[in-house]
Amino acid sequence: MDKPVFTLPPYKVEYKMMTLSEVKNYGHKIHNIPEAWKFTKGENVKVAIVDTGLPNHKDLENQIVDHADFTGYPVKDIVGHGTHTAGIVSAEENGEGVVGIAPKSKLYIAKALGDSGSGSDESIANSIEWCIDKKIDIINMSLGAPKKAESAFPLTKNAIKLAYNKGIIIICAAGNEDASEVGFPACMKETISVGAIDSRKRRASFSNRGSQLDFAASGVDIVSTYLNNSYCSMSGTSMACPIVAGIVALILSKHKKDQGDTPIYNTDDVREHLKRISIDMGPVGFDNDYGNGLPIFSNFEGMDVPVEKKRTFLQWIKSLFK
């Protein structure tokens, strides 16, 4: 039997473009990113993209600080998946192309998936250990394996636990198999798992669900950077994952400036912070389709939404679907 490997969740390039005037995805509006930009655009936050390699794109060239390969292939991204996820997080705000959720955050690129789109336990674990050495704040992992294969990845599990203990936030795609449980490593309690919704805030038909799903985010028809200075639209929890990574970058950046009453030291603090700004999109409370809900920056109290006002906003959101 072949040894299990990590793979990209099934995804599809919907359409491709060569030039754009600067585009903000509908996710910017759904998650109310412009409200967060009043406070920060991700300054002083280091985000690692553990994916298919080093982008070569004008919207990312000023964003990337360091890179490394852990696959044995040339470090350049020839698949396009890693370039797309990197742009969702941090594409530069430069008046053209696309702009990321946290455009002033800085990127570190770990090529953990080879040019076939798959990676080993060793390549993922080594990528995470490199991120620890680089003192990364957030790791984006838009990749995975079936939960039933979890035992085949002991090195990755140990590396994730080590990163968690170091206070690094790991954001993982839930998977695109329309399964009743999220994949690995999204299922680990040390990570934050993300499912996908569409532009109407409905769960994407492909998005995995289950009791270990943490949050939902925009993940259908997301335009971002692609190969050869082009742009394309993709759909998948791979796209929702960096939306949340960008949101977390904004939260961490603000809290580096001002800890306030809710300091953030670790993944559990971040998870609780995301819960406080999330809007309940399914049955009341946690549910298997949306997890703890949809993170949305409110204009009420900066980053934090008082409970009574959050309920009012929730009632308004739900009224849109009646």
Q: Is 145 within 8 Å of 5 (Cβ atoms)? A: yes
- For the chain, counts of helices (H) and of strands (E): 8, 14
Indicate if 255 belongs to the active site. no
Indicate if 51 belongs to the active site. yes
Q: How far apart are CA 176 and CA 32, in angstroms?
A: 25
Indicate if 273 belongs to the active site. no
What is the residue-wise DSSP string for 97-159? SB--SSTTSEEEEEE-S-TTSEE-HHHHHHHHHHHHHTT-SEEEE--BB-GGGGGG-HHHHHH
Amino acid at 299: N
Of 51, 69, 77, 137, which residue is the catalytic one? 51
Asked if the peptide bond before residue 185 counts as cis, ω within 30 degrees of 0, the response is: yes
Q: How far apart are CA 178 and CA 62, in angstroms?
A: 37
Structure tokens, 59: 């919207």
Secondary structure (3-state) at 50: strand
Of 238, 253, 278, 298, which residue is the catalytic one? 238
Of 81, 84, 255, 273, which residue is the catalytic one? 81
User: Could you give the residue numbers annotated as active site?
Assistant: 51, 81, 238
